[in-house]
């Protein structure tokens, strides 16, 4: 089961429904709204509840009384099943309203605009509905406010919690195969435990949304330029003030990937064919108190990343993110074909497939490259003859099962952007941006 987003009157989109699968493609010409969708998905994926709003709501809903009663029972070595279930439910019920506060701020920062400017021309409000495997929430953007219109929580979550007190002042909570144990000596300990359970609820109910910036990477279409001008570990306040939230997170992503490369947490063998094709080999250097990346070119010249060729600046961070162990688990990339010749695009498609199949990544791509789409089509069709992959010159994990792919054609029609779901069969066949 995958996450879904439904839109109404958001930006140029009158209506759109998107299912996020391990490989999700937004295909279309320039300036039809692909990036707006990518930025929205990233925003929804990195949102955390506003802590002040969450604290205010749970306090109003009786958290303190429930916490005190739970603590008394735990201190006596008794499991506070009823009290603790009610307490956790207070957090679950408060969650979407705390997220709405965060969403309001995030949309302004990501799109660098007022909220009312995100509503389709001629409409009074926009709707953004987010659904995970077990829960959904509908937000309304009206004026300069984001509010919750509907919330369907995962009711079965609380029933599935096993609550135990292995000894006085200790709490053990198990959900599925996940067991957490907390020492409880104060109300703040119980608050932290409730927040941990809330995080587990969100990860279970809304995956892949409402995670964190560390788990979800956005590789913006201006990454070559950012890499030349902004890759400084300590941005001055004047520079930081002038860049967008998305560009700012790309800088942080670069340094996280550099550290992972230094620690050996990136499978460079996955990315090697692609990196060799674009004529560069990343090397790690510790300087100015941080790990940073140098690029060794095909002629043996060693350059700081900011001075590397444009193809390297566009693609090396993407290759490292795709080949990384663990986070980022979701990678959203605008126009990965930028500065890449056709063979490099083919090898990038194969790297994407390996990241999905062997490393469990979710990859969302916006593209207007027919060649990249054709390359992905070939890997989808390979899934019906995976037993011949080696014979055909591929690795087994480069075949992409059609059920792992969602593809959408984005087109401008009569003053609005239209999202058309494309059929993905075992032959591939998502239509390309040159259709019209």
H or E element at residue 75: helix 63-75
> What domains can you pick out in the chain, each with its CATH number?
21-30+212-422 (3.40.50.300), 51-206 (no CATH)
pLDDT band (50, 70, 90) for residue 225: confident
Is residue 363 helix, strand or coil?
A: strand
Residue 247, pLDDT score: 87
pLDDT at 387: 87
Q: What is the DSSP letter of 137?
A: E
Beta bridge partners of 304: 294
pLDDT tens track for 274-306: 999 999 999 999 988 889 999 998 888 899 998
Look at residue 238 and tell me whether its pLDDT is greater than 50: no
pLDDT average, residue stretch 372-399: 92
- pLDDT at position 242 is 59
Whether the CB-CB separation of 363 and 352 falls below 8 Å is answered with yes
List pLDDT tens digits, range 326-374: 999 999 999 999 889 999 999 999 999 999 999 999 999 999 999 999 9
Q: What are phi and psi of 203, to 5 degrees?
A: -60, -35
Percent of the chain with pLDDT over 90: 78
State the chain's mean pLDDT as an integer: 92
Q: How far apart are the first and last CA of the chain?
A: 33
pLDDT tens for 141-168 read 999 999 999 999 999 999 999 999 999 9
* DSSP track, 312-353: HHHHHHHHHHHTBSSS--EEEEE-TTTT--HHHHHHHHHHHH
Q: How far lies 315's CA from each of 268, 279, 333, 339, in Å?
A: 14, 11, 10, 9
Mean pLDDT of 29-58: 95
Q: What's the mean pLDDT in 405-412?
A: 95
Answer for the pair 207, 330: CB distance below 8 angstroms, yes or no: no
pLDDT score for 243: 75
Q: Could you tell me the pTM of the whole model? A: 0.92
Dist. CA 402–CA 381, nearest whole Å: 8
- The beta-strand segments (E) located in 107-261 are 125-131, 136-142, 145-152, 162-164, 170-175, 178-183, 216-219
């Amino acid at each position: 089961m995958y996450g879904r987003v439904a839109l109404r009157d958001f930006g140029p989109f009158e209506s759109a429904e998107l299912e996020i699968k391990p490989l999700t493609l937004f295909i279309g010409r320039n300036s039809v709204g692909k990036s707006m969708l990518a930025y929205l998905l990233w925003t929804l994926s990195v949102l955390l509840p506003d802590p002040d709003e969450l604290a205010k709501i749970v306090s109003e809903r009786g958290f303190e009384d429930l916490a005190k009663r739970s603590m008394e029972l735990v201190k006596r070595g008794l499991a506070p099943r009823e009290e603790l279930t009610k307490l956790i439910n207070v957090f679950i019920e408060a969650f979407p309203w705390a997220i709405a506060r965060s969403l309001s701020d995030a949309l302004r920062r990501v799109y660098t605009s007022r909220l009312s400017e995100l509503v389709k021309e001629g409409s009074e409000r926009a709707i953004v509905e987010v659904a995970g495997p077990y829960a959904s929430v509908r937000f309304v953007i009206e004026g300069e406010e984001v509010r919750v219109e509907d919330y369907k929580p995962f009711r079965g979550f609380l029933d599935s919690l096993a609550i135990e007190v292995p000894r006085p002042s200790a709490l053990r909570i198990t959900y599925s195969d996940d067991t957490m144990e907390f020492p409880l000596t104060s109300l703040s300990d119980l608050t932290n435990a409730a927040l941990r359970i809330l995080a587990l609820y969100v990860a279970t109910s809304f995956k892949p949304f409402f995670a964190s910036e560390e788990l979800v990477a956005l590789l913006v279409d201006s990454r070559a330029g950012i890499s030349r001008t902004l890759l400084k570990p300590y941005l001055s306040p004047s520079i930081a003030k002038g860049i967008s939230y998305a560009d700012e997170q790309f800088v942080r992503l670069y340094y996280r990937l550099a550290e992972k490369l230094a620690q050996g947490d990136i499978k460079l063998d996955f990315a090697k064919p692609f990196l060799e094709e674009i004529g560069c080999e990343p090397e790690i250097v510790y300087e100015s108190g941080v790990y940073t990346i140098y690029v060794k070119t095909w002629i043996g010249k060693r350059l700081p990343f900011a001075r590397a060729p444009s193809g390297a600046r566009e693609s090396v961070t993407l290759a490292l993110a795709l080949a990384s162990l663990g986070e980022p688990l979701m990678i959203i990339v605008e126009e990965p074909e930028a500065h890449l010749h056709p063979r490099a695009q083919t090898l990038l498609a194969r790297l994407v497939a390996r990241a999905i199949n062997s490393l469990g990544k979710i990859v969302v791509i916006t593209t207007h490259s027919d060649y990249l789409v054709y390359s992905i089509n070939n890997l989808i069709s390979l899934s019906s003859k995976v037993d011949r992959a080696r014979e055909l010159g591929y690795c087994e994990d480069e075949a992409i099962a059609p059920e792992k792919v969602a593809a959408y054609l984005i087109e401008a029609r009569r003053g609005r952007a239209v999202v058309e779901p494309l059929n993905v069969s075992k032959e591939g066949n998502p239509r390309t941006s040159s259709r019209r």
